[in-house]
Structures are given as structure tokens and as C-alpha cells.
A and B are shown apart, each in its own frame.
Chain A
Amino acid sequence: MIYFNKVSKFYDQSLILDDINLTINNNEFVALIGHSGAGKTTLTKLIVGEEKPTSGSVFFESKEVNKLPAGQITKLRKRIGVVFQDYRLLPHKTAYENIAFAMEAAGKTDDEITADASYVLDLVNLSDRLWHFPDQLSGGEKQRLAIARAIINQPELLIADEPTGNLDPVATNEVIQILKKIHDLGTTVILATHNRAVVDSLRPRVVTLEKGKITRDDKHGHYAI
């Protein structure tokens, strides 16, 4: 599904990713682990075309992401759900409108939006927060809202970048259960994290990044840094 071919990325003079070769297959659950600054977030940004590699190529199926024109990037992003580390919710839209916006962008009808947006918010336990703005929600609620937005269009790939970074253990567990459920429904999941407990409880394929290089790739791994 996703293929990194000799990908390197520099920011100014700093090497962030160094000659990455990585293949992620359909319906895999992959945990990207590593210390802060190891290159996990940059790797996920390359998949959605938010960043371009300095050298090498990133493929999503047969399409080379870094060479896609803007219109094609938009189409690609409709197939990918992303949960951002800093949530990146739309601050001037309510919880319901944040979900509805992602559905409108995907071309869903009003009836579909009415039915599915309420359903997904119920799924992430936010049915009593429909008309709250992001700054009226707690960290855990924001994270669950971000997940709801990422999964609402039933993406083929879900990328979750540190989705439990700011959460307490209870909220963390809730988020992990949601990700598991989504994976069980057939979605490929890439989870970038440095939370040992999360990785050890899931036992997914674990790809370890250190200073921009892949140092380990274990099929059913555990957190080992």
C-alpha cells in the first residue's frame, strides 16, 4: 500500500530522515516508535504530501505522492484519515461541524452527514459535546474528536501521530480501543508514538526510528529503545 524508496529529508541543514526503505501492506497495524525528533512525524507527513522528500520517492499504491499535482493530492487525502499530535481541529467550528466539514469535503450529502456525524460522535463518546467548540473541550475530548474526524469517511489508511501524547491513562485506553476497532474493520493503521504501554498492549508491527534511520522492524514487536 505504502512504499518508501531511499527517502531522505533535510530541514535546512539537519538530516531528519536518512535513506528510508519501508513497505506497509494493506490492513497492517504499524507502530512507528522512537524518541522525540527521531523522524516519526516527518515520515507520516510525507505519506499525505504535507512534506516532500529531499531525495527518494514515496508511493501510495502506484502513485508517487511527491509528484502528484494539487488536485490529485486532494483526492489522495480523502482516502487517508489523519489524527494529528496537536489535534488541528477547526477552532471556529463546533465538534459536529468539524466532522461535517470533513464529510462535505468528501462530497457526502446532507442526509449522510446528519446520520453519520452524530453516529461517529456517539462512538467516541462525544454525543453530549456536539455543539461545543474545540476550546471548550478537554484534551481527551479533542483527541477523540480528531479521531472521529479522521475515521468518518472510512479511510483506507489511518495515520495517528502521538494520539495519546496529552492524555491520562483512561483516555489513552479509550483511544487505543478505538484504533483497534478501526483496524479490525479493515483499515490500515500507522501509529506514531513513544508510549511504551500502548505499543506493548497492542503488539503490532513495530518500526523503530533513531536519528532518522530505521533501526528495527519487528512483525509483532514491543517497545524496545
Chain B
Amino acid sequence: MRSSASRQSWIIALPVIALLIWTVIYPNAAVIAGSFEDGLGHWREFLNSPADLEALRTSLVISVASVFASLAIGVPLAFLLGRFEFPGRRLLRAVATLPAALPPLVGVIAFLFLYGESGVVTRAIQRALGMAEAPWQLKGVSAIVFVHAYTMYVYVFLFVSAGLERFDATLDEAASGLGASTWRRLRRVTLPLLMPAVAGSMLLVFMNALGSFSAPYVFGGGLRVLSTQILASKTNGAMGLAYVETTVLALSAIAGLLLFRWLDRKRKYTLASKGGRARRVIRSRRVQLLMTGLSAIIVVMLVLPHLMVVLVSFARDGSWTTQVLPPEYTLENYRRLFSESELWRPITNSVSMALIATAANLIVFRRFAGRRFLELLVALPWAIPATAIALGLAATFNQNDFATARVLLVGTFWILPVAYFIRDIPLVASAVESSLRQMDSSLEDAARGLGASWLMTMRRVILPAARPGLVAGGLLAAVTAVGEFVASVVLYTHSNRPISMEILAQLRALAFGTAAAYSVLLILLVLLMTLAARSFEERLA
């Protein structure tokens, strides 16, 4: 019975496995192979290039610094919101995850508008202090880490908050009953038990920062990092070197992943979820005032980028030069987006390509819901930075050759949906898996025991259980794809350019208003998709 059932499931899963091998494994293998096409020549070139070595070092420095900056913000904020009750807490909690809602490139340009050389905050301070020059420049490693900390601290915050919520409060009480001071309890009990959550979020930040493209690309100045270096080599036609750089980037990511796994290897316990404790109410008037004041500042810092993008989207293009705030406001930017077909095109491009990628993912993961053996295939696109994935696709799908299973996609519309599809795989797969993990495994046995065939069990028991995951994963996939930038910048053509590329183009043309209007539309699209997914979920329930 069991063996025939598992044979059936293999037969159904086989095309999926083949598809994933073809789109995930094969391109990466092609990149590695490409790096050796000249023997060790390209590798020698890489090792002898001061620019490349500097890029590798800078990439790692930025990633590590981003991890610590995110920790420095996310951990205290999680403790503040999780452990204390004070006026203004709910507002702060509501906006704490806002940065995650900004597509990466939009966050970057919002920072440019705010803290760039001619940004609002920069100029305001310059005027106020009567300085001749801007007090700072939004350039280099510190600028990139600044933006990363803003967008990526959310991972740390969410992980640590969840950890605190699951934290068994009696452990803390036991420690205090045994005479441990607040500091000792934090050091010996709370933090060690939160370490898994902290480590998980550190890994996420590290991987994201390592693969980050938008921030180094937009205000790296002359700074070289691996991801931008890859694009530069490709643009210069030095494909062999680009392959080496891509391999190095992917290997750094995988090395980081393995390092974190190894650091976390000793843990045998899980946090029992016996519910957290009540938050401590701050009674001291002075501390209350301090906390409320502090949260007001944080709230403003968090909301400002969003507000800034909205404000600039109404600024007349070309009018904002040396003033602190844009001097002229107009609806023209939006009117042009909606009326000029060339300007509207990126929006339909992004939406249709995101929907194709999401639909493809949903179809694929419906078919192999409940199976774990594809774990590696599914994890790979998560571990490998998007730039590397994009380069792999560029290296593989650049010609029609039946013998080597190559199809010409580069230069066509389809290359981006395929790239988005691959980037979305981990999101949909992990969402489906987590909702299946919540399913009582005896349900499947019960269905079998009642005489249901494998197919019927799948259709009537497993898929309904996986549906919440499919909805949540699908939403994440669509949201990620519609604002995708990193793979797009490597693979887009003029005709299928997505919103992110258009934002960049408008920014370069100094059409700040139009760039911001696109950004606002992008944010609205994300919002709309979220609402649609939520109402769909409610209808299912």
C-alpha cells in the first residue's frame, strides 16, 4: 500500500523535480562551469584584481556591519515593546514593521530624498546651523549600512518579539527567586534562550545584506561590492570574470549559512510556548515621559521615508533644486503615468510578470505539497543571492539548443517571469510547509485508514490543509515580484522593464516627482495585493 502510494507520488512529483533542476540547479552549474571555461584563468584574474578583492571584502564588511546595526535596533525595540507598557506603545508597535513594506529600491530613494546631499533633513540641518556644505554625505559603507539597518532590523525585531512572546515567564521568575539580579537574568537566562531567534534573524540579515544591490548601486559612490561588480563585469562583456564573481558571491552566502547552522548546532531545547507574561507598566512619570518621547522619535524615523515618497510624488519634476522642501506641487506626475502608454507600460509589465511567477509557483507547489525531499532544491534560491541567480539564467537561457536543454529567453519577455519564479520558490515552499507542519499527521493516516486513495487523501485532506500556506506564500511571492529589482537590473530589456527599472531611469533623469509617483503606485499595489489575499483568506475560512 505504502510503496505503491509513494510510487504514485513520485510520478506526480517528477516533472516538478525536473523543472526545478532545470531552472535552479542547471543555471548555477552553468555559472560554475563558465568560471572554469578558461581553466583557472578567470580565477587568477579575480585573485589578481585589487578591485574584486576589495569588493569581496567590502561586501563582507557591509553584511557583518548590517547584522550588528540591525541587532542594535531590533533587540532593544523588541524588549521595549514586548516587556513594557507605556503611552504610545501601540502606535510604535503598529509602525515598527513598516520598513519591511517598502520595496528595496523605494526605501533607498526615500533615504536619498531625506538624507541625501540635497535631502530634506540634510538641508534643514545645514540651513539651521548655517553651514556652507551639507553636514554629511550619504555615501559609502556607512550610508549602505544605515539603509540596511532601517529595512532589515525588522527581521531581528520580529524574531526576537516572537521569541519573547513564547518565552516561559516562570524561568525568569525562577531565576529571580534564586537571587539573580535583573542583569544576571538577562545574561544567563533570557538572552541564551532567545539566542536561536537572534541567530535566525542574524542569518536573514546577513544573507539579505550580502545580496543587497539597490543600496550599493544607488549610493555606493565609487564603492565596489560583489553584486554591483558582477553587473559591471557583465556590462563590460567580461563574462568569465562575472562567473567567477558570481560563484564567489554564492559561495560566501552558502558559507555564511553553514557557519550559522554550525553555531546553532548545540541547541537541543525549544522555547515552550506557555504564553508570555504581562507587560510591566511603567509607573514613574519621568521614565514614562522618556519612553514616550523616545518612541515618538522612532515613529517619526520609521514613517518619514514613506511620507517623503508620497510628498515628492506630488512635486513638479525639475522644480526641486536647492530648497529644503519641493517648492511646487502638482498632480501632473500621476496624470502622465496613467495617460502615457510608455509610462504605464512598466506597471502592466510588473503586474503581469509577478502574476505569472506567482501562478507558476502555486501550480508547482500544489503538486508536491507534503513532500520534504525537495528541501535542497527549494532552499537553494534562498541561499544564493539574486544577482547570482540572474547571472545563471543569463548564462543558460541565451540560445536555443535542444541538446543542452537550453532555450532562448534572454532578451524576451519571459526571462523576468522565470527569474521571479525562481526567487519566489522559497517563499511559497516554506509557507506551504509551515502550514502542513501544523497539520496533525494522523489526519493523513486516518484518511488512508478510511479507505481513501492517495489521490483522494491529497485532494481532500492535504491540499485543504496547505491552502493557508499557498495563500500566504502566494501573497509574499506576488509582493516580492512586483517590486523586484536585483534580478531585473541584470536581465531586463526595454520592452519588459519593470517598475523598479523605470524608477531608476526617472531618478537618473532627475525626474524625482515621476520616480516617486511610481514608488507610491508600487506601495499601493503591494497594499492592494495584501488586502486581496486577506479577503480571499477570509472567504476560505
* A and B found bound together: no
